[in-house]
Chain A
């Protein structure tokens, strides 16, 4: 376990190695949340609630979605793809650790760093500018924390899956781009799932995407109450277990197929 914790620390150091990135990161979060705030206030103009959500809930939803995204989002798919493309994966395989496990830990290090050092300052700054509503109920915070951990797990599993596919295709820039777009769209980051037409909502029940952003944000804005919270968390938990299966199978096949490029 030691080595995995050490890896998180290393990731912190790496993120801190480039300070300009750090400051622009905070700025980007404020801009994103601000842009969505103005967009939604235009849509809401005059109406007190759409689909059962008030403007205040919606702004909070947007702010929280972005904050949660800072935590669950990572680039390990791209990193795996790059390591395979450049043949660096050879070096990873001579280390006594699980490659996918270590990648996940790097993602976690990155996520924790972004959550506390990028998005938290970002949200605090935006909280002064726009009306955000934070729950005072401790149990909501608790559910939310649990929920974004599961978001991280599911999103990382999808990233690992997409990354491992590179072992077979050796270049899958297109797939990674498509995956990123699909997750942003169907996870409820851009638009809450309850705003989609009902047939689309029905279809999305069979995909893991809403477990990534929609569920934790709905929990945080207290749009989910009682049983809905439990259902949401269960939905996340089930998916994070199911996704382990294709991941294991693909990884096993990938190791056999590995071609180290160059040298």
Chain B
């Protein structure tokens, strides 16, 4: 078994009902309802090797969660093939789910009213983990995630960061070879995020755990994943290494100018019209960001400085976040 996940032309369609407006419309809705078929996931194919850490990214509503739900056997695909850990997730659900761990960042899988350790104990029974394995594996997990002092507290009394660490531990009780993480760092502070990333890296190295991760925090991806799969409107628009993505899209520098007075897009465009420079308005007042090929950096700066009164200049590498924003705005075809 070389591949942890094999997906071939996977598709999921939902019926989306729309309500008519007004009282008459509401009455008509009682008898017939309008609906559209929405394709949340549109014929995607990809494979994930064992031991790989893959970032699955996309905007809200791009179909990330729907894919994860199909891969974990929660949703039945409309069409296409899914083989995960050598099994069909829907057909052999009970045997299959023993081989995976899942963390939904927005959904707790611990029992709300009871102490964390009681949830662990139940899960240990559910996954038939022997006392020996549990002790060996979980003691380490509990220690690394630093959740020992939380175990006797009911889940409802934990903070989000504390709860998330416990969720992660709960997903790993049976030490699954494949881990799905659906926005595991959502709403967490930097320290907890760091701890979780470090922990994920560690289990990946130690147990060769395959990890598929969806997130909106690009820093998660940068820290963990060598490969990213990018999704837009249900289709895969990029599948490859993060490195290549950066090379293709991230060459050049970002130069941010803060002007003393108001400046327009047109003026700046004229000023650098013979160079390949893209101008974008910055977040602060009177700040503009130029996307400049490396060879023209000094040229652009000297022209701008000669012409305008400048308060501040910053030169940065183009961030992954920037790259991804560009891709979404312009499409994956370069240029």
Is the C-beta of B30 less than 8 angstroms from some C-beta in chain A? no
Is the C-beta of B135 less than 8 angstroms from some C-beta in chain A? no
The chain B residue with its CB closest to the CB of A17 is: B113
Is the C-beta of A96 less than 8 angstroms from some C-beta in chain B? yes
Q: Which chain A residues have a beta carbon within 8 Å of chain B's beta carbons?
A: 2-3, 6-7, 10, 13-14, 17-18, 87-88, 90-91, 93-98, 255-256, 258-260, 262-263
Within the complex, the shortest CB–CB distance from B36 to chain A, in Å, comes to: 15
- Contacts A13-B114, A94-B102, A258-B75 given; does A6 touch B125 at CB 8 Å: yes
Stretch at the interface among B93-101, B219-227, B314-322: B93-101
Cross-chain contact A94 with B154 (CB below 8 angstroms): no
Cross-chain contact B114 with A96 (CB below 8 angstroms): no
- Contacts A17-B113, A17-B154, A260-B75 given; does A96 touch B97 at CB 8 Å: yes
With beta carbons under 8 angstroms apart, the residue of A6, A87, A96, A258 that contacts B122 is A6
- Contacts A14-B113, A263-B65 given; does A96 touch B104 at CB 8 Å: no
Is the C-beta of B215 less than 8 angstroms from some C-beta in chain A? no
Within 8 A of A (CB), among B91-120: 93-95, 97-98, 100, 102, 104, 106-109, 111, 113-114, 118
Cross-chain contact A263 with B107 (CB below 8 angstroms): yes
Tell me how many residues of B have a C-beta within 8 Å of chain A.
Answer: 32
A87 CA to B75 CA in the complex, in Å? 12
Cross-chain contact B111 with A10 (CB below 8 angstroms): yes
A262 CA to B74 CA in the complex, in Å? 14
Within the complex, the shortest CB–CB distance from A18 to chain B, in Å, comes to: 8
With beta carbons under 8 angstroms apart, the residue of A7, A17, A93, A263 that contacts B73 is A93
Q: Which residues of A contact B67 (CB under 8 A)?
A: none
Q: Which residues of A contact B125 (CB under 8 A)?
A: 2-3, 6
With beta carbons under 8 angstroms apart, the residue of B73, B106, B126 that contacts A3 is B126
A90 CA to B68 CA in the complex, in Å? 11
Is the C-beta of B326 less than 8 angstroms from some C-beta in chain A? no
- Contacts A6-B125, A255-B76 given; does A90 touch B95 at CB 8 Å: no
Number of residue pairs A-B, CB distance < 8 angstroms: 75
Interchain residue pairs with CB less than 8 A apart (25): A7-B122, A10-B111, A13-B113, A13-B118, A17-B113, A17-B114, A17-B154, A88-B107, A90-B69, A90-B74, A91-B102, A91-B107, A93-B93, A94-B72, A94-B97, A94-B109, A96-B94, A96-B126, A258-B76, A259-B75, A260-B69, A260-B75, A262-B106, A263-B65, A263-B104
Within the complex, the shortest CB–CB distance from B282 to chain A, in Å, comes to: 33
The chain B residue with its CB closest to the CB of A93 is: B74
Within the complex, the shortest CB–CB distance from B98 to chain A, in Å, comes to: 5
Q: Which residues of A contact B65 (CB under 8 A)?
A: 263
Cross-chain contact A259 with B72 (CB below 8 angstroms): no
Q: Which residues of A contact B14 (CB under 8 A)?
A: 259
Interface string of B59-77 (1 = CB under 8 A from A): 0000001000100111110
A10 CA to B98 CA in the complex, in Å? 21
With beta carbons under 8 angstroms apart, the residue of A88, A97, A258 that contacts B126 is A97
Most chain-B Cβ atoms within 10 A of its Cβ — which of A7, A18, A93, A259? Answer: A93
Within the complex, the shortest CB–CB distance from A95 to chain B, in Å, comes to: 6
The chain B residue with its CB closest to the CB of A256 is: B76
Is the C-beta of B127 less than 8 angstroms from some C-beta in chain A? yes
With beta carbons under 8 angstroms apart, the residue of A10, A90, A258 that contacts B114 is A10
Q: Which residues of B contact A7 (CB under 8 A)?
A: 122
- Contacts A17-B154, A96-B127 given; does A90 touch B76 at CB 8 Å: no
Cross-chain contact B122 with A3 (CB below 8 angstroms): yes
Is the C-beta of B281 less than 8 angstroms from some C-beta in chain A? no
